[in-house]
A and B are shown apart, each in its own frame.
Chain A
Amino acid sequence: MKIRVWGARGSLSAPGPATVGYGGNTSCVEVELADGTSLILDAGSGIRELGQRLLGREQGELHICLTHLHVDHVEGLGFFGPLWRAGWKLRFWGPPSTTATLRERVSRYLSPPLFPIGLSEAPAEAVFEDAPREPWRIGSAVIEAQMVEHRGPTLGYRIEDEGRVLAYVPDHEPYLTAALGDEPKWISGWALAAGADLLLHDSQYTDEEYLGRLGWGHSSVTHAANFARAAGVRQLAMFHHDPMRSDRELEELYDQVADSLRRDQEPPLIAREGLEVILG
């Protein structure tokens, strides 16, 4: 599978000269499966440019896996080209809720007064489904979605395609569940990431910042590294960068993450717009 990052920023878009290296768009990752199926992870502002690229291709079906409904993960839909062109079929997957369907929850953002046009006016065929509780197949891949520790119902995804594994857990505070220091199965998200070739994981805060933001739903860079160690992932990519973090500051945090990983793990990556990783 081919993975391309279109947005790696967390919480709020952060364009400007200080962030031009890693990019200011919020969460969006494109995964092209071995059989050519297109999978999109989250619909942050990064999905706008991905949409422009997709419009150049033959119309078809796209799968959009939403981790949750926080604005930074859905805000790009209003400018996602294929949603606004007849002929495309978009299948959305997302976390379950006891109060509203996934379509209703996405519509809260894509409707007045937050957005001028309603989802019902979109010409593309859009289908919304709660992610199945058991692993399911999309194209050549097996997808697994599990609830993870964050504010509100939030999923992490595990995508296994031709024996290679991508884990995507952009908003996650596993530290809250790791207090006992016992078996890793008691750490939120562990099974999704266990043995993955690549883990895109929340790395929002410095250790100092985290102390004042305990319970806000995100990880410090050290917690991201500890989680990657516990799950035995081959490579960690720092993701969901804080909107206040400059390129230079991100690079300063990199060494701290690299030093916290095991020697048998690959050096980490800092996810940036345009980063491509091919697994398999």
Chain B
Amino acid sequence: MERKQPDLVLIVARSFATKLATPTLIIDANGNLVYFNDAASDVLGRSYLEIGTLHASRWQELFQPRTLDEEPLTAEQTPGGIALLERRPVHDSFVMRGLDGREREITVTAFPLFSQPDEVVGVMSIFWERPAKS
């Protein structure tokens, strides 16, 4: 039996997110999407139970993140990616496509989850959909 399991900090972050009314998304230390809550489903266009965990490259491809000037963003250039690689909090806005096909402008606060002073086990991103421009 494969007994590997995520770090407790990631497990608890995930259970915390289930209770938050703010859209929240969690990636692990490899950048894989491991959870987003019900509030995030409204912004992403599909529920976590429908999508499940996603490899870093796959969720990037699905949501097509871009700068506000429509420049494509790689996984490493999104707020979550920067928070993971540079181990610091990031606050920024970008454009993405929901799985319902609708384009959205979102503002994200992403911060690394440290389980030990020298160990990051993932990133928690809390985000808001910016009101559509008139």
Given contacts A177-B15, A179-B18, A194-B3, A98 and B8 within 8 Å (CB-CB)? no
Q: Which residues of B contact A96 (CB under 8 A)?
A: 116
**Which 5 residue pairs are nearest across A and B when measured between Cβ atoms?**
A191-B5, A147-B8, A185-B5, A191-B3, A177-B15
Complexed CA–CA distance, A280 and B14 (Å): 38
Q: Which residues of A contact B115 (CB under 8 A)?
A: 147
Given contacts A191-B3, A195-B1, A98 and B117 within 8 Å (CB-CB)? yes
Q: Which residues of B contact A195 (CB under 8 A)?
A: 1, 3
A188 lies within 8 A of B8 (CB): yes
Contact-size category for A: 20 to 34
Bits for A175-206, please: 1 = Cβ < 8 Å to B, else 0: 01101100001111011001100000000000
Give the residue of A147, A177, A179, A185 whose beta carbon is less than 8 angstroms from that of B4: A185
Q: Which residues of A contact B4 (CB under 8 A)?
A: 185, 191
Q: Does A30 contact B (CB under 8 A)?
A: no
List CB contacts (< 8 Å) of A61-120 with chain B: 96, 98
Q: Does A171 contact B (CB under 8 A)?
A: no
Given contacts A96-B116, A98-B117, A190 and B18 within 8 Å (CB-CB)? no
Given contacts A96-B116, A98-B117, A186 and B1 within 8 Å (CB-CB)? no
Bits for B77-114, please: 1 = Cβ < 8 Å to A, else 0: 00000000000000000000000000000000000000
With most chain A CB atoms within 10 A of its CB, the pick from B1, B3, B4, B116 is B3
CB distance from B132 to the nearest CB of A (A): 32
Give the residue of B6, B9, B12, B116 whose beta carbon is less than 8 angstroms from that of A185: B6
Interface residues of A (CB under 8 A from B): 96, 98, 133, 146-149, 176-177, 179-180, 185-188, 190-191, 194-195, 232
Complexed CA–CA distance, A124 and B7 (Å): 36
Give the residue of B1, B11, B18, B117 whose beta carbon is less than 8 angstroms from that of A188: B11
Q: Jot down 16 A-B pairs with beta carbons below 8 A, ordered by A.
A: A133-B116, A146-B8, A147-B8, A147-B9, A147-B115, A148-B8, A149-B11, A177-B12, A179-B15, A179-B18, A188-B8, A188-B12, A191-B3, A191-B4, A191-B5, A232-B1
Other A-B pairs beyond A98-B116, A149-B11, 13, CB < 8 Å: A133-B116, A146-B8, A147-B7, A149-B12, A176-B15, A177-B12, A179-B18, A186-B5, A187-B11, A191-B3, A191-B4, A194-B1, A232-B1
B12 lies within 8 A of A186 (CB): no
Interface residues of B (CB under 8 A from A): 1, 3-9, 11-12, 14-15, 18-19, 115-117
CB distance from A38 to the nearest CB of B (A): 26
Complexed CA–CA distance, A148 and B4 (Å): 14
Q: Which residues of B contact A232 (CB under 8 A)?
A: 1
Can you name the residue of chain B whose Cβ is closest to the Cβ of A156?
B8
With most chain B CB atoms within 10 A of its CB, the pick from A149, A180, A190, A194 is A180
Give the residue of B5, B7, B19, B116 whose beta carbon is less than 8 angstroms from that of A190: B5
Can you name the residue of chain A whose Cβ is closest to the Cβ of B19?
A179
Complexed CA–CA distance, A148 and B6 (Å): 11
Complexed CA–CA distance, A20 and B75 (Å): 61
Complexed CA–CA distance, A133 and B121 (Å): 13
CB distance from A77 to the nearest CB of B (A): 26
B117 lies within 8 A of A177 (CB): no
CB distance from B114 to the nearest CB of A (A): 9
Q: Which residues of B contact A176 (CB under 8 A)?
A: 12, 15
Q: Which residues of B contact A179 (CB under 8 A)?
A: 15, 18-19
Complexed CA–CA distance, A149 and B1 (Å): 23
